Amino acid sequence: MLRSTQKNIAILGSTGSIGKNSLDVIASFPDQFNVSYLTVNKNIDALCEQIKRFHPKGVVVLDERLAETCKSRVNGTTKVFCGEQGLEEIVQRNDVDIVISSLVGFAGLKPTLKAIEAGKKIALANKETLVVAGEIVMRLVKKHGVELIPVDSEHSAIFQCLVGESSSKIEKIILTASGGPFRTTPLDKLKDVTVAQALNHPNWKMGNKITIDSATLMNKGLEVIEARWLFGLPPEKIEVLIHPQSIIHSMVEFVDGSVKAQLGMPDMKLPIQYALTYPERVSAPNVRVDFPKLRELTFFEPDLARFKCLRLAIAALHEGGTMPAVMNAANEIAVEKFLNGAISFLQVPETIERAMERHSSHPSSIIIEDVIEADASARRFAREMLN
């Protein structure tokens, strides 16, 4: 049984895929969890529906003009904050116990840092926070004694496999990837990929940005960097395998040769629920694996020639310092341009590679200002390159 004390939750990015799934999980446990704050960028129609359903104390709308529109629509029933300052304010409030950090991209960094400094439990779904500033984030987590529980299915799987285990006994961790829609597409055919094709993920329903990252395998590259910081492992102890069925979410191999794997259907509700209820497991009607119906579980090494983004992310991890921030920023701009039809699919890794080539990374011990400067510089370069 969970403790009877109800936990107040703030969801950063409540209208995205993780945010919506989080609200469904919370709704299943009304005695244990309460929605205190919701945040969106621009989707105030969806936000207003969530307000009617969950009655939060407050909401944040990043777009200041739309925040005013939202205020008129809620008519004083819910307090409306706006902009980045609003995000940073709500995560520090006393009426928040858990912050679900599910904003897309670099935008999730600052509010997550503020939540850590305020001593909140973090359910982390924003990969980029650890990708661009992993050293800084984990240092603050340790300083403030904060619980940081991963929500990504792969990192949740590793986290679950390590419960009761010593990190010193890890031989390696194995992150699985579906391979996305182009797992078997020849490299010379990728130049003609359309946005609709790239958004047609075979296993998962996600937001547009993460779906494109999955199609390029950049998503797995980000997860490699994230895993390095979450689990305190050197890059050589982190492996990626293509697993098209997305049933084994990741594995841990130990020094004695034993391997633990976490299995489940491709449904984000399970890792979200685990992050919110940890260290307990709570009964829920999540879809179960029907083993007799599984015809095969297959594994392949990733093709780094075809999926250059994964190779670039791993290179950024080895370089260290501010290089992951540059890699991430260039990717965000390139993916945005691709989604808008301005560039081709293969121009995404080209943009990232050129941004990385021109950058001289700061030393490994960095401060947040270094990260912000590197991010801004890489975004300017990528925009100028692609305009």
Q: Residue 91: give its domain's CATH number.
A: 3.40.50.720
- Say if 316 falls within a structural domain: yes
Name the pLDDT band for 3 (thresholds 50, 70, 90): very low
Domain interval for residue 63 = 7-150
pLDDT of res. 202: 79
Answer yes or no: do 136 and 170 share one domain: no
pLDDT of res. 363: 67
- Say if 127 falls within a structural domain: yes
- Say if 177 falls within a structural domain: yes
- Among the candidates 82, 117, 150, a domain finishes at 150
Q: Left if phi > 0, otherwise alpha if psi is -120 to 50, otherwise beta: which for 12?
A: beta
Instruction: Please give the radius of gyration of the chain, using alpha carbons only, rounded to the nearest integer.
Output: 20
At 68, list the tokens: 């005013």
Local structure of 74: helix, strand or coil? helix
Answer yes or no: do 168 and 144 share one domain: no
Give helix then strand counts, H and E, for the chain.
15, 11
Answer yes or no: do 59 and 190 share one domain: no
The pair phi, psi for residue 296, each rounded to 5°, is: -165, 155
Q: What is the pLDDT of residues 203-215, one digit of tens each?
A: 777 789 999 999 9
Answer yes or no: do 54 and 165 share one domain: no
Answer yes or no: do 64 and 113 share one domain: yes
Contact between 251 and 176 (Cβ < 8 Å): yes
Answer yes or no: do 52 and 195 share one domain: no
Give residue for tokens 């801004």: 376
The answer to whether residue 240 scores a pLDDT higher than 80 is yes
Answer yes or no: do 201 and 342 share one domain: yes
Answer yes or no: do 319 and 265 share one domain: yes
How many whole angstroms separate alpha carbon 301 and alpha carbon 231? Answer: 22
Answer yes or no: do 36 and 84 share one domain: yes
- Say if 1 falls within a structural domain: no
- Say if 2 falls within a structural domain: no
The answer to whether residue 195 scores a pLDDT higher than 70 is yes
Give residue for tokens 């995404």: 348
- Among the candidates 130, 150, 170, a domain finishes at 150
Answer yes or no: do 353 and 382 share one domain: yes
pLDDT of res. 105: 86
At 182, list the tokens: 């182009």
At 176, list the tokens: 């699985």
Predicted model pTM: 0.94
- Among the candidates 101, 131, 150, a domain finishes at 150
Burial class (CB in 10 A: 0-12, 13-18, 19+), 339: middle
Q: What is the pLDDT of residues 55-102, one digit of tens each?
A: 999 999 999 899 999 999 998 889 999 999 999 999 999 999 999 999
Mean of the pLDDT values across residues 334-357? 97
- Say if 180 falls within a structural domain: yes
Answer yes or no: do 176 and 70 share one domain: no
At 92, list the tokens: 């520090």
- The CATH number that applies at residue 327 is 1.10.1740.10
Q: What is the pLDDT of residues 115-140, one digit of tens each?
A: 999 999 999 999 999 999 999 999 99
